[in-house]
């Protein structure tokens, strides 16, 4: 893969990861703090609000493509000067992806299920868990962006 192609893929991945980070940041500041107060009622309103669309449409497929871009860069890279940054970016992206899978499979699917109300007061626990794990996820994604941007800057100086 040429330096120019690596640079372009790095930039696209940075943009996609930033999209993921700022989408989660928006949810963390504007939406999810409301979930922890009277969670069953809040989540009922939220589920009624998302009739034609959902947050999934915002995140899929851009965030997955951005993460795959990081791994492709690592796999196809032949430049030793960016190798360490791409290894770190790939590992942080893997951690973010695994955590995201955990959040979606153990929390989001319950919060947004059609029968979410069967969880009753446990919804408050799930909402708090989402808030805390979302913060960790944002740190993981932000760290990925940091290392990927470091590689991008080195690639940019080579061209």
Indicate whether 159 pLDDT > 80.
no
How far apart CA 137 and CA 135 sit, in angstroms, is: 5
Reported as half-sphere exposure (CB side, CA atoms, 13 A), residue 80 has a value of 0
Secondary structure class of 120 (helix, strand, coil)? coil
With left for phi above 0 and alpha for psi between -120 and 50, is residue 111 left, alpha or beta?
Answer: alpha
**CA angle, 108 then 111 then 112, to 5°:** 85
Per-residue pLDDT at 138 exceeds 90: yes
- Whose CA is closest to 134, among 32, 35, 47? 32
CB 77 within 8 A of CB 148: no
CA angle 96, 102, 105 (to 5 degrees): 135
For Cα atoms 100, 8, 11, give the angle at the middle one, nearest 5 degrees. Answer: 45
Task: Provide φ and ψ at 104, rounded to 5°.
Answer: -65, -45
Which residues 6+ apart lie within 8 Å of 104 measured at CB?
Answer: none
Q: Which residues constitute the domain of residue 78?
A: 3-158
**For 55-112, what is each residue's pLDDT tens digit?**
788 888 999 999 999 999 999 999 999 999 999 999 999 999 999 999 999 999 999 8
Residue 98 CB coordination number (10 Å): 11
Residues above pLDDT 90, as percent of the chain? 74
> CA dist 154 to 13, 38, 45, Å?
16, 49, 48
Q: For position 54, what pLDDT does the model report?
A: 78
Report pTM.
Answer: 0.92
Number of domains in the chain: 1
User: Distance between CA atoms of 16 and 49, rounded to whole angstroms?
Assistant: 26
């Amino acid at each position: 893969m040429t330096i120019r192609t690596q640079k372009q893929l790095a930039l696209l991945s940075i943009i996609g990861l930033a999209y993921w980070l700022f989408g989660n940041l928006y949810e963390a500041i504007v939406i999810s703090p409301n979930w922890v107060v009277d969670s069953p009622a809040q989540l009922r309103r939220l589920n009624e609000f998302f009739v034609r669309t959902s947050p999934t449409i915002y995140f899929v497929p851009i965030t997955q493509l951005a993460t795959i871009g990081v791994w492709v860069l690592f796999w196809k890279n032949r430049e030793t000067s960016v190798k360490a940054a791409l290894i770190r970016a790939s590992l942080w992206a893997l951690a973010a992806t695994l955590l995201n899978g955990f959040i979606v499979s153990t929390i989001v699917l319950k919060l947004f299920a059609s029968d979410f109300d069967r969880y009753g007061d446990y919804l408050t626990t799930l909402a708090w868990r989402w808030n805390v794990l979302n913060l960790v996820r944002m740190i993981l994604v932000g760290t990925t962006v940091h290392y990927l941007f470091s590689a991008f800057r080195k690639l940019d100086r080579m061209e």
